[in-house]
Amino acid sequence: MAGWGVFFLGLLNYKTGKIVIAENRKIGILFRLYQLAVLGYIIGWVFVVRKGYQEREEAIQTSVITKLKGVALTNSSETGLHLWSAEDYVIPPNGEQVFFIVTNFIETPNQRLGFCAESFKVPNGRCQSDDDCVEGEAVIAGHGIKTGLCINSTGTCQIHAWCPVEHSKRPTEPLLSEAENFTIYIKNFIRFPKFEFSKSNVLETPDDSYLKRCSYDKEEHLYCPIFRLGDLVSWTGNDFQEMAVQGGSVGILIEWDCDLDKAYSRCNPEYSFTRLDRGLNNSVTSGYNFRYARYFKDENGTFRTLYKVYGIRFDIMINGQAGKFNIVPTIIAIGSGIALLGAGAFACDVILLYMMNTSSFYRDKKFEIINLKKEQNKHKEGKTGHRERRHKKPAADKEAGNSTNKPEETEALAESQLPVDQRGPTVPRNAGQRYSGNLSNQGTGPRHHITFSAQN
């Protein structure tokens, strides 16, 4: 129980720092280098690079509006001459943050509901007898429903579908090669609600003709968001005509990094472009295509034209952050720096007190236990001893002053108090006589003869 009592009482003790200057050059140099590193980190990285004195907001509110312009003329064996405008090749046509531009297509015209042979390219549609074509079963990854008959001439099952089914080959050239000169108008509005800051990537000018004659240039026309398709693809490191054959996916990133401590005009958009559907190695999965149909009616009923279109998908992504001076993050950054400085002092203390040959010497100088009551008692004992010594000295002086004995009597009195074997020879009171005596030490040591004589 006594041990636990000492433990709990020890928890009530208070520890305070003691400043000890250790003249150790190695530790001193190490500590100063650490301080310089911390100061460089706080000033260079925290305040200059990361702007740790600012309050940040990354919850950007944004809106994107897109418009495409351009026409292209195609001539195919199925449809002949066809003029393509933005209403034909832009999907969806209303201008959103993600849109698709047709650059190539395969057309299957005049499809009607009926019975026809499945394509041999579909593995589940192949057969050798009627038993391989279960009636009412859908062809997996095919075009219709099996009727139970196997067509020997094609080696495939008969199906109920939109006939004739699509028979297409992978294209080798883009039909809409002129799409390279199409233009995209990307209007972007951003807002940082915390700071009530709003801006657009379109130049604020009263000149209505500016957007009709400008084209984006990073140096000359930063606030003209009209881009040529061929330029967009080339900025990703690809060739437009090559991508237009089988399609692809392009990412357009608009970055807003605004320092609101500076002027309004210093908050500018930064554009970057990348191809999203292809990695470092060309893959068979690269490209972009899908199918859609256009339906018509005549006296024989409904028919349709099926299109398998290839093209470029554009994904517009908006990122942004804004910062403005605030005293709270500034104090937090400074406090973090001070804490790092304290960590350096702690590390140097550990090295000095526990990892050196002279650590025990520094520990004795560093740590000291102070008990106020013990110090007060010790101080009182010191005062009491001093007073006793002061009282004893006057008493001895007074006794010596009151004594009337002569010096010879005093010496005789002092000697008489000694043991007999330690007394010297007795000197007769008659000073005129001579006296001689032998002084001998107890034991077998040599004897000395002393002669006293009176002085005239």
pLDDT tens sequence across 108-120: 989 999 999 999 9
Residue 362: the pLDDT is 81
Structural contact between residues 43 and 53, judged by C-beta atoms closer than 8 angstroms? no
The β-bridge relationship of strands 156-163 and 98-117 is antiparallel
The answer on whether 289 is annotated among ligand-binding residues is yes
Whether 340 maps to a domain, the answer reads yes
User: Are residue 253 and residue 175 in the same domain, yes or no?
Assistant: yes
Residue 183: the pLDDT is 94
Report the mean per-residue pLDDT for the chain. 83
pLDDT tens sequence across 144-181: 999 999 999 999 999 999 999 998 788 888 999 999 99
- For residues 402-430, average pLDDT: 50
Say yes or no to pLDDT of 422 above 90: no
Q: In terms of residue numbers, what domain contains 48? A: 20-53+326-360
User: Are residue 178 and residue 77 in the same domain, yes or no?
Assistant: yes
Residue 359: the pLDDT is 84
Peptide bond into 164 cis (omega under 30): yes
Say yes or no to pLDDT of 400 above 90: no
Say yes or no to pLDDT of 22 above 90: no
- For residues 288-313, average pLDDT: 93
User: Are residue 331 and residue 316 in the same domain, yes or no?
Assistant: no
Q: Is 10 left (phi over 0), alpha (psi -120 to 50) or beta?
A: alpha
User: Are residue 178 and residue 273 in the same domain, yes or no?
Assistant: yes
User: Are residue 40 and residue 109 in the same domain, yes or no?
Assistant: no
Whether 430 maps to a domain, the answer reads no
Say yes or no to pLDDT of 432 above 60: no
User: Are residue 264 and residue 308 in the same domain, yes or no?
Assistant: yes
User: Are residue 30 and residue 65 in the same domain, yes or no?
Assistant: no
pLDDT winner (highest mean) among 41-55, 372-386, 438-452? 41-55
The answer on whether 291 is annotated among ligand-binding residues is yes
User: Are residue 348 and residue 237 in the same domain, yes or no?
Assistant: no
Whether 184 maps to a domain, the answer reads yes
Say yes or no to pLDDT of 430 above 50: no
Instruction: Give the type of residue at 397.
Output: D
Q: Show the beta-strand stretches assigned E in 152-244.
A: 156-163, 183-192, 197-200, 226-228
Residue 394: the pLDDT is 57
* CA neighbor of 244 nearest in space, from 56, 59, 74, 450: 74
127-133, long-range: CB within 8 Å, 24+ apart, which pairs? 127/155, 127/156, 127/157, 128/155, 132/157, 133/157, 133/158
Residue 450: the pLDDT is 47
What are the two backbone dihedrals, phi and then psi, of residue 277, each rounded to the nearest 5 degrees? -95, 5
The answer on whether 47 is annotated among ligand-binding residues is no
Say yes or no to pLDDT of 366 above 70: yes
Query: What torsion do the CA atoms of 48, 50, 52, 56 make, to the nearest 10 degrees?
Result: 130
User: Are residue 104 and residue 171 in the same domain, yes or no?
Assistant: yes
**Domain of residue 42, CATH code:** 1.10.287.940
Q: Which residue has the higher pLDDT, 95 or 37?
A: 37
**SS3 sequence of 109-123:** EEEEEEEEECCCCCH
What is d(CA 88, CA 307) in angstroms, rounded to the nearest whole number? 12
Structural contact between residues 352 and 359, judged by C-beta atoms closer than 8 angstroms? yes
User: Where residue 292 falls among pLDDT bands split at 50, 70, 90?
Assistant: very high
Say yes or no to pLDDT of 395 above 70: no
Whether 134 maps to a domain, the answer reads no
Structure tokens at 4: 């636990």
Place of tokens 């937090």: 332
What are the two backbone dihedrals, phi and then psi, of residue 220, each rounded to the nearest 5 degrees? -95, -40
Whether 381 maps to a domain, the answer reads no
Residue 8: the pLDDT is 74
The answer on whether 67 is annotated among ligand-binding residues is yes
Whether 307 maps to a domain, the answer reads yes
What is d(CA 197, CA 177) in angstroms, rounded to the nearest whole number? 42
What is the gyration radius of the CA atoms in the chain, in angstroms? 54
User: Where residue 436 falls among pLDDT bands split at 50, 70, 90?
Assistant: very low
Threshold 0.85, pTM exceeds:
no
Share of the chain above pLDDT 70, in %: 81
Distance set, CA 262 to CA 73, 175, 258, 268, 390 (Å): 50, 50, 9, 12, 81
Whether 375 maps to a domain, the answer reads no
- For residues 61-66, average pLDDT: 94
What is d(CA 191, CA 415) in angstroms, rounded to the nearest whole number? 113
Q: Show the beta-strand stretches assigned E in 326-426.
A: none
Whether 108 maps to a domain, the answer reads yes
Residue 389: the pLDDT is 62
Residue 386: the pLDDT is 59
User: Are residue 310 and residue 333 in the same domain, yes or no?
Assistant: no
What is d(CA 262, CA 324) in angstroms, rounded to the nearest whole number? 9
Say yes or no to pLDDT of 38 above 80: yes
The answer on whether 441 is annotated among ligand-binding residues is no
**Domain of residue 100, CATH code:** 2.60.490.10
Residue 456: the pLDDT is 41
Residues 6+ apart with CB under 8 A from 226: 183, 184, 185, 211, 214, 215, 216
The CA-based angle 41-20-38, given to 5 degrees, is 0
Domain final residue, candidates 306, 335, 360:
360
The count of domains in the chain is 2
User: Are residue 350 and residue 258 in the same domain, yes or no?
Assistant: no
Structural contact between residues 307 and 292, judged by C-beta atoms closer than 8 angstroms? yes
The answer on whether 69 is annotated among ligand-binding residues is yes
Say yes or no to pLDDT of 188 above 80: yes
Domain final residue, candidates 311, 340, 360:
360
User: Are residue 319 and residue 252 in the same domain, yes or no?
Assistant: yes
Q: Is 425 helix (H, G, I), strand (E, B) or coil?
A: coil
Say yes or no to pLDDT of 413 above 60: no
